Amino acid sequence: MSNYTFPKDFLWGGAIAANQSEGAYLEDGKGLTNVDLLPTGDKRRDIMKGYVPSLKPLKDEFYPSHEAIDFYHRYKEDIALFAEMGFKVLRVSIAWSRIFPTGEDETPNEAGLKFYDDLFDELLKNSIQPVVTLAHFDVPVNLIEKYGSWRSRELVYLFERYAKTVFSRYKDKVKYWMTFNEINMLLHLPFLAAGLIFKEEGNKKQIQYQAAHHQLVASALAVKTCHEIIPDAKIGCMLAAGTFYPYTCNPEDVFHALEKDRESYFFIDVQSRGKYPGYAKRFFKDHHLNIEMKPEDEEILKNHTVDFIGFSYYSSRTTSTDPEVIKNMTSGNVFGSVSNPYLEKSEWGWTIDPKGFRITANQLYDRYQKPLFVVENGLGAVDEVTEDGKINDDYRIDYLKQHIAEMAEAIQDGVEIIGYTSWGPIDIVSASTGEMKKRYGYIYVDRDNKGKGTLKRIKKKSFYWYKSVIESNGENL
Ligand code: BGP
Q: Flag whether pLDDT at 336 surpasses 80.
A: yes
Tell me the average pLDDT across 206-232: 98
**Which pLDDT band holds residue 224 (cuts at 50, 70, 90)?**
very high
CA atoms of 368 and 373, how far apart (whole Å):
13
- Whether residue 123 lies inside any domain: the answer is yes
End-to-end CA distance of the chain: 6
- Whether residue 292 lies inside any domain: the answer is yes
Taken as a whole, the chain contains a residue count of 477
C-alpha distances out from residue 4 to 7, 26, 87, 105, 139, Å: 10, 46, 19, 50, 41
- Whether residue 359 lies inside any domain: the answer is yes
Residues flanking ligand 1, CB < 6 Å: 17, 20, 181-182, 240, 312, 376, 380, 423, 430-433, 438
Q: Which residues have a catalytic role annotated?
A: 376
Secondary structure, 3-state, 310-344: EEEECCCEEECCCHHHHHHHECCCCCCCECCCCCE
- Whether residue 196 lies inside any domain: the answer is yes
Residue nearest to atom 15 of ligand 1 (CA): 432
Is the CB of residue 36 less than 8 Å from the CB of residue 25? yes
CA 71: distance to chain centroid?
Answer: 18
- Whether residue 286 lies inside any domain: the answer is yes
* pLDDT, averaged across the chain: 97
Close Cβ partners of 274 (under 8 Å, ≥ 6 residues apart): 220, 301, 302, 303, 304, 305
CA atoms of 374 and 10, how far apart (whole Å):
11
Tell me the average pLDDT across 268-292: 98
* pLDDT value at residue 5: 84
- Whether residue 236 lies inside any domain: the answer is yes
Nearest to 284 by CA among 302, 301, 270: 270
Q: Environment class of residue 201 by beta-carbon count within 10 Å: exposed (0-12), middle (13-18) or buried (19+)? A: exposed
CA 72 / ligand 1 centre spacing (Å)? 19
Q: Flag whether pLDDT at 2 surpasses 80.
A: no
- Whether residue 454 lies inside any domain: the answer is yes
CA atoms of 36 and 26, how far apart (whole Å):
10
Q: What is the pLDDT of residues 76-130, one digit of tens each?
A: 999 999 999 999 999 999 999 999 999 999 999 999 999 999 999 999 999 999 9
CA 333 / ligand 1 centre spacing (Å)? 13
Quote the ipTM score. 0.98
| CATH assignment at residue 389 | 3.20.20.80
- Whether residue 275 lies inside any domain: the answer is yes
Of 423, 429, 437, best ligand 1 pocket probe by most atoms within 8 Å of the beta carbon: 423
Per the structure, the complete domain to which residue 448 belongs is given by 11-471
Tell me the average pLDDT across 187-194: 98
C-alpha distances out from residue 262 to 78, 242, 256, 304, Å: 38, 11, 10, 21
Nearest to 374 by CA among 418, 320, 337, 334: 418
| Domain total in the chain | 1
CA 104 / ligand 1 centre spacing (Å)? 28
* pLDDT value at residue 201: 67
Nearest to 38 by CA among 431, 438, 452: 431
